[in-house]
Structure 1
């Protein structure tokens, strides 16, 4: 499970990275955030319904399936397992019709040490660049009150060599060259299943950090250990 992630980039960098046409349409909430938690409202990139162009939308991180009877999902929906995208009643239609890109630059995972202790890790690409988690989104509406919730889930895959040292899943990462294919509205026979794959371990690094406390760049400070303990670099 990936339950926390973050961004350093400001709205200008995000707009340029995703080739968004109008910076004025990028809200301030799309900027830096070092401790993004489930149920918060976060930027995702999707195709606009009317324009067919990339747009930035603010969605809730915890997917509420369109068929849910209440705005609270019946189970944990912050992550969607890659191996269930075509079979799960919660993931199948969003994967076929509503894929999105989730801007990020790092994420956090926890290694169980014992029954009461977990060691947090920060994980990023080796070049520290802005990247995109692969995601799916959905639109839920209460037909009595008219309330609408647009929400998303992050897709997770089997771990790579860097991640498997301390965790059994890793988020799906979509490369910029594949953004158009990932977002495209296509027939079920042309779904981009080949892009649902584990990111190479040699392109990722992980390091131990202190307990997540607050929000800011300090959360990424490595514990005072030998640099050789940074996974994925040596």
Structure 2
């Protein structure tokens, strides 16, 4: 699954990385180190009029356009879309066919869900390998609160922003409704790769830059991009212990990226 992620890159870094067209006047995008469902976040889609990539804000947790009242919809059931059932369930099939987007980020968090499996060995200072550079846990680290679990962050080896496969929906009010229009998105997930599997059996779908155009623009139903919904290569990612305080959405800031 993917229930939290972070973004430290500013709007210009994202625009440059993903070849976004002109940014809207006054568009602001402060860093966010603890992004949770139900918050408004930037996604990248294709502008229907110009054909350029545009950066726009949407709420995380997809709401079907067919819903009468979005306020009564349980969005925590639609923050993630399982790739295995994306063509079987109507709430995903329509967006997958017609409204796909990129979700820009610098990394995502995952909590240890599989303690029964062999865990990664301690990484010594300066050691490299499948898990990348991981700082050793201080010997006199503060003990976490009872019941808290280790949390890890996953990003690219160069620390650059990357993109997850996203689906979006445009909800529009019915006649007589006072509710404003609402655009929402979901993150597609798949089975874990070798790096994430010791922590969790699911991971978000990470797209290669070479596949961005196909994901955003190819709506040929005879060749839908179902083949892109696969685990990302383990050796193309790094895993680092993160701050357990990220479990509380009120906690934010760069210190969420460091183990504590």
* TM-score normalised by length of structure 2: 0.80
Map of 1:122 onto structure 2: 153
Q: What's the CA shift for 1:194?
A: 1.7
CA distance in structure 1 between the partners assigned to 2:211 and 2:109 by the alignment: 24
1:84-95 pair list within 5 angstroms: 84-95=85-96
Greater shift, 87-96 or 209-218, is seen at 209-218
Greater shift, 88-97 or 118-127, is seen at 118-127
Q: What's the CA shift for 1:26?
A: 7.3
CA distance in structure 1 between the partners assigned to 2:100 and 2:212 by the alignment: 10
CA distance in structure 1 between the partners assigned to 2:12 and 2:243 by the alignment: 30
More contact order relative to length (CA 8 Å, sep ≥ 6)? 2
CA distance in structure 1 between the partners assigned to 2:52 and 2:88 by the alignment: 29
Secondary structure of the residue aligned to 1:163 is coil
CA distance in structure 2 between the partners assigned to 1:73 and 1:89 by the alignment: 16
Q: Which has the larger radius of gyration?
A: 2
Q: What's the CA shift for 1:116?
A: 3.7
From the superposition, tell whether residues 133 and 25 of structure 1 become closer, same or farther in structure 2 (CA, over 3 Å).
Answer: farther
From the superposition, tell whether residues 163 and 183 of structure 1 become closer, same or farther in structure 2 (CA, over 3 Å).
Answer: same
Map of 2:253 onto structure 1: 216
Q: Does 1:103 align with 2:104?
A: yes
Q: What's the CA shift for 1:50?
A: 2.1
Contact 2:21 / 2:52 at 8 angstroms: preserved in 1? Answer: no
What are the Cα deviations for residues 33-79 of structure 1, in whole angstroms up to 9, with x where unaligned?
A: 11111111111000112222211110000100111232143461000
1:71-90 pair list within 5 angstroms: 71=70, 72-74=72-74, 76-90=77-91
Map of 1:230 onto structure 2: none
Contact 1:63 / 1:73 at 8 angstroms: preserved in 2? Answer: no
Greater shift, 208-217 or 132-141, is seen at 208-217
CA distance in structure 1 between the partners assigned to 2:74 and 2:6 by the alignment: 26
Contact 2:80 / 2:188 at 8 angstroms: preserved in 1? Answer: yes
Q: Does 1:55 align with 2:54?
A: yes
Q: Report how many aligned residue pairs link the two structures.
A: 222
Map of 2:5 onto structure 1: 5
* TM-score normalised by length of structure 1: 0.88
Structure with the largest fraction of strand: 1
* Structural RMSD (CA): 2.0
- For residue 181 of structure 1, the aligned residue among 214, 217, 220 is 214
Secondary structure of the residue aligned to 1:165 is coil
What are the Cα deviations for residues 175-214 of structure 1, in whole angstroms up to 9, with x where unaligned?
A: 1111111101422112112211110111122222232152
Q: Does 1:41 align with 2:74?
A: no
